Amino acid sequence: MNRWILTTGMTICSFFFLATVALAHCIWSEPPAHVDLNQPFTIKAFYADPDDPTEERDKTDLSFYLLSPGKNLQELELTEQSTYYTARTELNEPVQHIFILERVPNRYRLQEIRDFGKSVTWVGSSGDIVHDPVGIALEIAAVSLQEQNDGQLDLTIQVLYDGNPVSEGEVEIFKSITPENALYEEIDEIDLDDSGKARLVLDPAYRYVLETDHHVPAGDVEGTGFAIREVRFRSTLYIPSR
C-alpha cells in the first residue's frame, strides 16, 4: 500500500513537473540576418525553452509565414526534424522580409496559451532588424538600433498587445552560448516602461531570443475554448548575429 502511494505520488509530481516545463516553452525561428537575392536558404524553427539543448527540444503544431512588403502573408512549408522544424525558401526582392511563426492555441487547465514568434531578414547587406509592427496579437517590435563606439548595439524594443503598448510587463533575454552555438542562456530580465518600451545592449557577434507574455481575461478574447478563464499570449523576437 505504501509503495502504491509512493509510486502514485511520484507519478503526479512528474506530471506537474513536465506540465510546468512545457508551459515555459516558447516558439521562435532563426533565419540569417542577410541573404543573397534569389538564393535558397534554410530556416530552423523551435518549440522549447531557448536554454534547452537542441537534442532535448520538443515539437508541436506550428504554422510559418513570410511577410514581404506590400504583399499578403505567404505560408511556408515546415519539414519535421528530430527536435525542430526547417523551412526552405528564397527571396527575390532586395528589401526587408519578416517571418512569423504561430502555434495552434493550447489549453492548460483553465488557461489557453497562444504563441507567436517573429524574425527579420534582409536581402542584401544593408538593413537591420528595425521594423514596423506587423499586427500579431502580442509582438515585440524593434524600434531603434544604434551602434556604439565599442561596437555594441543599442536596441530599443516595444511590446504591443492588440496594437497597444504593454506597460509593466517584462522581457526575458536569452543569448547564445557562442556565436555559432544553438544553445542559449538567460542573461537578463528587463522591465517595460509605461509606453511598453525597454532598452538593451547587445553584442552583434551573438544571437538572441527575446521573450515576453501577457495575460488577458478569456472574456476579452474571441475564439476561446469552453471554460477557459484566461488567455496567456506569449511572443518572441529573434535577433541574429551579424
Q: Which CATH architecture has domain 26-239?
A: Sandwich (2.60)
For the chain, the average pLDDT equals 90
Residue 216 makes CB contacts below 8 A (sequence gap 6+) with 161, 230, 231, 232, 233
C-alpha 226/C-alpha 95 separation (Å) is 43
Per-residue pLDDT of 120-154, as tens digits, reads 999 998 889 999 999 999 999 999 999 999 999 99
In 3D, which of 109, 157, 138, 155 has the Cα closest to residue 233? 138
Q: What confidence category does residue 17 fall into, taking pLDDT thresholds of 50, 70 and 90?
A: very low
Query: Please, are residues 116 and 139 in contact by the beta-carbon 8 Å criterion?
Result: yes
More reliable by pLDDT, 133 or 17: 133
Per-residue pLDDT of 89-113, as tens digits, reads 999 999 999 999 999 999 989 999 9
At 35, list the grid cell.
541573404
Q: What is the pTM of this model?
A: 0.89
Q: What confidence category does residue 4 fall into, taking pLDDT thresholds of 50, 70 and 90?
A: very low
Query: Residue 242: how many CB atoms within 10 A of its CB?
Result: 16
Query: Please, are residues 137 and 162 in contact by the beta-carbon 8 Å criterion?
Result: yes
At 29, list the grid cell.
525561428
Positive or negative CA dihedral for 190, 200, 157, 77? negative
Mean pLDDT of 82-89: 97
Per-residue pLDDT of 154-206, as tens digits, reads 999 999 999 999 998 999 999 999 988 789 999 999 999 999 999 999 999 99
Residue 66 confidence (pLDDT) above 70: yes
Q: Which of 51-55, 84-88, 134-138, 205-209 has the lowest mean pLDDT?
A: 51-55
Residue 21 makes CB contacts below 8 A (sequence gap 6+) with 49
Domain positions in the chain are 26-239
